[in-house]
Amino acid sequence: MILKLIANTRSTSLKQRVNGLLNYIQNPENTRAKNLSNYIRQPFASQPAWNEDALLEKCVYASSRNFLDDDPEQQKIEMLQTASLNRRVEDPIVHLVASFKKFEVPTIQQIEEQIDILLRHLNAKALQVQYAMHLDTDNAHYHVVINKIHPFEKNQHQQHKCVNLGDGWILNALHRSAAEIEATQGWSSEPNPMFVYNRRTQTVESNPAYMKISDAEKLPAPILDRAYRHQQPSTLQQEIHFAKSYQQYVESSVQNILRRANSWQDWHQALAEKGLTFEKKRNGAIFQLKTFTEQITFKASLFCQKQATLPQLQHHWGPYQTAAEGIRPQAVPDQEVQSRVTSPSSKTKIHPFHLFQSQDYLVAELHNVYLTLKMQKDQITDLHKQAAAEIKQNHEDYQFFERDLQIKQQQQQSPNMALDQIEATLDDQHALQQKNDRSDRRTQYALSHQQLTAKLVKDGMGQLLFSSPKINSAQITSYADFISHLDREHPLVIAQQFLLDQRQSANFIHAPNPKCRQAQLIYDEQLKHEPIAVMNQYGIQMFSQYSIPRIQQCLKLLNADTSIEFSGESSFKQQAQIALQHRDHQIEDPNPQHELPRLEQISSSDLEVFFDQLYQHFQQHHNLQTAIFKANLLLSCCHVNSDRLERNLKEYSDEFFNFNLQAPDRNNLMLRLKSVLCTQPIAQNRQYFNAQDLDLVWQVALKLEYNLLKRKTAKIINKPKPQGGSKLVIEEIVLPERDPDFLNEVMQELSFQRRKSRLQQQFLEVSEISSTSNSFGACQRIDAEVKSLPHFPKDRYKIICQFEHQFYIDRELNQTAFIENTHQAYITVVSPLEVHVRDALFLAHARYGEVMISGNEQFKAQVEAIARQYQIPVIREEHLEQRQAQSEVPAQPSAAGVTGHDRQTNRPQQDSTPPLEPQQRPNPTSQKSAYGHDFDL
């Protein structure tokens, strides 16, 4: 969430500002029309014809506080009159905007709670406030207009009091408000927050890990805006970034020299040995670094320690002295300087957002085309400005020189013509000439852009990219405008739109990589145009569509001896640890194209099952609205019609009271979802989900096919009480079991048919794990260190990660040998072959050290024989229980579990989902949804 203060840059009058702002937030113009019109007229095949008026609806909620009248028009007059009660305040109107992330839509109740928090931090509870929520941009946001003049309190001058918002620290008050709102309502916070919310004390505190921007990096807003519009750093930004790469060398050298220098000459001599000079510059001083290729200047007060500034050194050594003639700086190799540059420590928990530049997320093919267009546009603009300047100069020359000269010439030629008539004739001729010159200038400007547009469209890249030949290069004023004119279904455009949303991804592989001096994008090996990560010298930032094979693909780009640490989502860290364990072994992707079932013909009851399961999955890490939004977005990626999603959400909300979601909030949520579906293709929306999210969809589809989910529906009926009146009763109706052809209905492609049998086999194998007692577990807590696998034949097996398990499949026999569950620390042996039992034992020993055996007697004896041969410590499950009973430690074993619900207590507490279980399993651990479905996920 972002809270911004919008400055009054136009210096409008008080009346204009009040009327303009309140008109804008109450009845805004549909500024999104030009962005949505092209998309609305080309809807998806699975979507209906969009209602353009509904999608362009901007203001969806508006309210106010501390007004005498409820009519918005009367409130304008009232705010204007109140603001006029203190003439000393030039601009008493404050305009604020609160913006949310892509998949976040607040409810009306949440907005009211946010306004309470905001006004409390601003000390503005008694002030006049108007606010309205808009859904016209890529992010849901609301505007707040506050009148600082108090309605009835007066100051010492007997004028109405002007409240100092936030006690004069309005930006700090906004940061504090954002921290409390994010924590109390469950919104995701921005990187590097200035304040954090302490839930124990229920107060807002300063963030100890906050990174303050140095004075050298604070640039004027016009420069930053221009760089953002074109996604290209300005010259000043490039110079600062270049200087920062040498800053650490200068600082470390200066600190060491300060400890031993005792005079100005010692100071100059020691600096010269490090390639540095120190010179007085006006009232301060500068350092100059000399390398073999560069000569860089640093301002001492900005880049170095305060002890190295000129006043501090003069305080110790007297007036400034220049260096002696014999002291000259020695050029330092660039490699030596850059080797001193240290990467930020992972212990400081620096968000990856701050380790990359905005240009690191650009698709080079597109941005290069845009820069070429921008360069040619700038040339046309320069010629246009030059022609305008010439016309203006001609007018000034006429006024100050030529007019009098032409009048004299005309008098000589026509002595009988009156002077005023001559002046009027010449002025008319000049005005006509000026009008024609301006018209020619505009015509030439338009013709130049027409030629540039035709050149772009006819170009080989342009034919592939531009969605319509009816474009005008003059209207493309930013990189975002350029992208909006391209074919949204083109893979490069999809990649670029996705990358612009991924800058705040917190999934990061901390790994020093000094060879990667310039950031580079990493694309998937299977889907060549799909970016999965970006890498620089500090590590690799993974995007939202991560999977174990993709993480492993990124790990291969790092040196084998590099220290690695993971941060980000819990799911990402779990999958990253698995990828790190199998770093030397290729893990095959079971769904390399990231396919999803097509559910456009799904029944209503089955759609309820899918939605319920997905909602519960996303609710673990998101608040209510975001979980609903992402569940519906994932279903739309399965080609479910948006109207069906809306009807399903309404029935789910109204009939079963599962959500505390009122009709206006539900409508706003669906309106935001439809806007996303309108402007983004399915191929892009699918990239916001990781492999576990996609696996869950297939998991539900398989459960429905095998009738492992008791599909029930419910209806609310009123039954009369014996004493009279009525009683609300929810009556469950069990639907008949479906035919086992669900997967054939939802996916007809040949590519899926080829891998359907493997998907079903793995699902059944995981489902039947509890009935297979032959397994290995851990006798002690798993050590975080990844151990080598002695005697384990890596080439014999291919590994597939599916349904939160790792399947070791014998390549020659093409059958599953054993299945590993890293989260719950057990390995189930599926195959009876001795070679597979032996390899499973090797793997368990490498993972857990001492291995616990559970299963039938024949299996235990077989394992013990192999263990004696290779000197592997093993222990039977019953012997481990005896050992624990005899020990003095309380009976809470640290052993990680074995398979089956009867051994669940032997496993450490994990947040992961237990293995799937068949319908006939006794006493399954089930979870009942609001519809009465019994889910045993």
Domain boundaries, the chain: 2-211, 235-349, 364-484, 503-584, 604-736, 769-917
Q: Say if residues 768 and 727 touch (Cβ distance below 8 Å).
A: no
User: Could you tell me whether strands 712-720 and 726-734 are parallel, antiparallel, or unpaired per DSSP bridges?
Assistant: antiparallel
Residues with Cβ within 8 Å of residue 366, at least 6 apart in sequence: 465, 482, 483, 486, 492, 493, 496
Residues with Cβ within 8 Å of residue 8, at least 6 apart in sequence: 17, 91, 93, 95
Three-state SS for 79?
helix
Position with higher pLDDT, 7 vs 896: 7
Lowest mean pLDDT among 58-72, 709-723, 756-770: 709-723
Q: pLDDT at position 550, please?
A: 95
User: Could you tell me whether strands 508-510 and 565-567 are parallel, antiparallel, or unpaired per DSSP bridges?
Assistant: antiparallel
Residue-averaged pLDDT of the chain: 81
Quickly tell me which residue has 């990828």 as its tokens. 579
User: Could you tell me whether strands 276-281 and 284-290 are parallel, antiparallel, or unpaired per DSSP bridges?
Assistant: antiparallel
Rounded CA Rg of the chain: 35
Three-state SS for 394?
helix
Residues with Cβ within 8 Å of residue 310, at least 6 apart in sequence: 280, 283, 284, 285, 300, 320
Let me know the angle formed at the C-alpha of 442 by 437 and 445, rounded to the nearest 5 degrees: 125
Q: Would you put residue 500 in left (φ > 0), alpha (ψ -120 to 50) or beta? A: alpha
From the centroid of its chain, how far is CA 365? 23
CA distance 430 to 425: 9
User: Could you tell me whether strands 726-734 and 539-542 are parallel, antiparallel, or unpaired per DSSP bridges?
Assistant: unpaired
At 659-669, the pLDDT tens digits run 778 889 999 99
Query: Residue 126 CB: number of other CB atoms within 10 A?
Result: 15
Residues with Cβ within 8 Å of residue 529, at least 6 apart in sequence: 491, 492, 494, 495, 523
Indicate whether 39 pLDDT > 60.
no
Cα→Cα distances 3→142, 430, 503, 814, 906, Å: 10, 54, 19, 57, 48
pTM assigned to the model: 0.82
Cα→Cα distances 924→379, 905, 937, Å: 73, 15, 10
- Token pair for 683: 């191929």
Average pLDDT estimate for 872-900: 64
What is the identity of the amino acid at 26? Answer: Q
Please state which CATH number belongs to domain 2-211: 3.30.930.30
CA distance 474 to 453: 9
Q: pLDDT at position 488, please?
A: 85
Indicate whether 931 pLDDT > 50.
no
pLDDT category, 29, cuts 50, 70, 90? low
Q: pLDDT at position 736, please?
A: 57
- Please, is 95 exposed, middle or buried when counting C-beta atoms within 10 Å of its C-beta (0-12, 13-18, 19+)? middle
Indicate whether 49 pLDDT > 50.
no
- Token pair for 597: 């079932």
Three-state SS for 143?
strand
At 258-296, the pLDDT tens digits run 888 889 998 999 988 888 888 888 778 888 888 887 787
CA distance 360 to 519: 6
CA distance 528 to 128: 55
From the centroid of its chain, how far is CA 92? 36
Secondary structure (DSSP) of 521-586: EEE-SSSTT-EEEEEETTEEEE-TT--HHHHHHHHTTS-TT---EEES-HHHHHHHHHHHHTTTSP
Indicate whether 918 pLDDT > 70.
no
Three-state SS for 875?
strand
Cα→Cα distances 29→26, 32, 320, 414, Å: 10, 9, 63, 59
* Most confident segment among 108-112, 250-254, 748-752, 912-916: 108-112
> Is the alpha carbon torsion for 143, 147, 153, 155 positive or negative?
positive
- Please, is 512 exposed, middle or buried when counting C-beta atoms within 10 Å of its C-beta (0-12, 13-18, 19+)? middle
Q: pLDDT at position 461, please?
A: 67
At 375-403, the pLDDT tens digits run 999 999 999 999 999 999 999 998 888 88
Residues with Cβ within 8 Å of residue 249, at least 6 apart in sequence: 289, 337, 338, 340, 341
Indicate whether 927 pLDDT > 70.
no
Closest CA to 175 of 92, 98, 95: 98
CA distance 896 to 900: 13
Backbone angles phi, psi at 660, to 5 degrees: -90, 65
Q: Would you put residue 423 in left (φ > 0), alpha (ψ -120 to 50) or beta? A: alpha
pLDDT category, 895, cuts 50, 70, 90? very low
At 780-819, the pLDDT tens digits run 655 545 555 666 777 889 999 988 899 999 988 888 999 9
Helix axes 264-273, 310-317, angle to 10 degrees: 130
